[in-house]
A and B are shown apart, each in its own frame.
Chain A
Amino acid sequence: MIRTDVVVVGGGLLGCATAWTLARDGVGVVLLERDQINAHASGQNAGSLHFQLEYRMVERGLEAAQVAAEAMPLHLDAAARWSELGEAFGPSLGVAQTGGLMLAETADQARVLEAKGDLERSHGLDVRLLSGDEIRDVAPYLSPSIVAAAFCPIEGKADTRTAAPALARAAADLGAQVSTRTEVVGLRRVGRGWQVSTRHTDAVGNQVGEEIQADVVLLAAGVWTQHLGQMVGLDLPIIPLALQMNVTARTPKFLPHLVQHAGERLSLKQSQDGTVLIGGGWPARLRRDASGRPRLSERPHLLHDSVVGNARAALRAVPRLAGIPLLRTWVGMTTVAEDQLPVVGPVPGRPGLFLATGGSAFTLGPTFARVLADLAQGLEPTIDLAPYGPQRFGESIDVA
């Protein structure tokens, strides 16, 4: 039996950042990861530091956008924290906040950008509309078909390949225990704390069980959060999603911005290695069992429409991509709540259990990490969690 202050479940960016934050605060922490650090969504997502409302949030009209804009305090906080992390960690995080553009190709899209900008500015985000000529000056690589663009100077990117492992190493250096190939198989309240049952696969392939006692458990397990919630009688209304991403061969640097589109699914950026990452939320297909339940351990299927659609969207925005070799198209899984807002905060009726999930856990990871670390230490988070907490789902989530 191991005793610790806090168990963090999940070795993605959020789990690693949380473990590091706690260790830095002098809290004893054990990080559990069933696979490898950074093996899933954190290492597979686009690494966009996007703080404007995304296409998926504006495509359903102004009302939905207004709901999504409620997450703006998280965005602003995350932008500042990424910047601090970038300075503290240097190239291993690959943080570059050199500005993001959201493109419009039609007058309608330009009007969407205008309305979106008004909404965002009212929530404190610095975003301004560029006209055609200004766009040519700022981003000569863009297609002449782009008629307007919303520019947000604090947007940018971080390196999904290396960010989470760098934070895990930093956490370990400060005394956190980082355990990979260690799955949580049981979670129950014991006394004033929690008992976490784990199963570790050792070097010869044996499954070794270990019990961990902790005052606090933090769930940062992406799509697996729902499964962990079930261990304590929770039915979280979050939906797993499979998405595709693409990366090109290295090419001389030409694309300093994060590029998104107001009218379709597109995100573009050039990594510090020189590769161009192309995404935007094009769907892949989750594998499901006979009764329709998603099989999270299987790689989702790549969809032909997404392969073609994503390539075309990228080519239309940045025509010079046509000749650049595409190296890989891969799939990953994330999860969203129905209202598209994150799910962060204390689990009602389960003292000492907190979670953060619901998408954008890379982009908003440093903020979620601070919030979880504060909650774990009984501190009042600096952000009002009322709009984001699991309590907003009411008693429907409680099946215990």
Chain B
Amino acid sequence: MSFSFNGQPVAAHAGETLAAALMAHGVEGVSLTRDGEPRQPLCNMGTCFDCAVTVDGRSLVRSCLTPVEDGMEVHSWQNH
């Protein structure tokens, strides 16, 4: 299966979390700070929010808790 991240296709396995798929894909800025600096998952257990993404329009979704679904549209979440 696959999903898009910031417009680019990313392949993933069923059961994988978005965070794991993005890490495996070598994505640098899973989320962005308000200065535009990249962030990657820090805790992988839903507490740090550094892995936050926007999924199909829903903001501040923790990618480490979200299983990949085919065709998801995912974007880096940015704090403003």
- Bound together, the chains give a CA A252 to CA B57 distance in angstroms of 16
A250 adjacent to B59 (CB under 8 Å): no
Within 8 A of B (CB), among A223-261: 249-252
Within 8 A of A (CB), among B48-80: 57-60, 79-80
A250 adjacent to B58 (CB under 8 Å): no
Q: A: which residues have CB within 8 A of B?
A: 249-252, 274, 323-325
Nearest chain B CB to A175's CB is how many angstroms away? 39
Interface of A is mostly: loop
Partner of B79, one of A250, A323, A324: A250
Q: B: which residues have CB within 8 A of A?
A: 34, 57-60, 79-80
B59 adjacent to A323 (CB under 8 Å): yes
Name which residue of chain A comes closest to B79, CB basis: A250
B80 adjacent to A250 (CB under 8 Å): yes
Name which residue of chain B comes closest to A253, CB basis: B80
Partner of A251, one of B57, B58, B80: B80
Nearest chain B CB to A274's CB is how many angstroms away? 5
Q: Which residues of A contact B60 (CB under 8 A)?
A: 249, 325
Nearest chain B CB to A108's CB is how many angstroms away? 36
- Bound together, the chains give a CA A274 to CA B78 distance in angstroms of 13
Nearest chain A CB to B9's CB is how many angstroms away? 25
B80 adjacent to A325 (CB under 8 Å): no
Name which residue of chain B comes closest to A249, CB basis: B60
- Bound together, the chains give a CA A251 to CA B79 distance in angstroms of 8
Q: Which residues of B contact A325 (CB under 8 A)?
A: 59-60
- Bound together, the chains give a CA A137 to CA B59 distance in angstroms of 28
Name which residue of chain B comes closest to A251, CB basis: B80
Partner of A252, one of B58, B59, B80: B80
Q: Which residues of A contact B80 (CB under 8 A)?
A: 249-252, 274
The winner among B34, B58, B59, B80 for most chain A CB atoms within 10 A is: B80
In the complex, besides A249-B80, A250-B34, A250-B79, 4 extra interface pairs with C-beta distance below 8 angstroms are A249-B60, A323-B57, A325-B59, A325-B60
Nearest chain B CB to A276's CB is how many angstroms away? 11
Q: Which residues of A contact B34 (CB under 8 A)?
A: 250
- Bound together, the chains give a CA A102 to CA B58 distance in angstroms of 30
Q: Which residues of B contact A249 (CB under 8 A)?
A: 59-60, 79-80
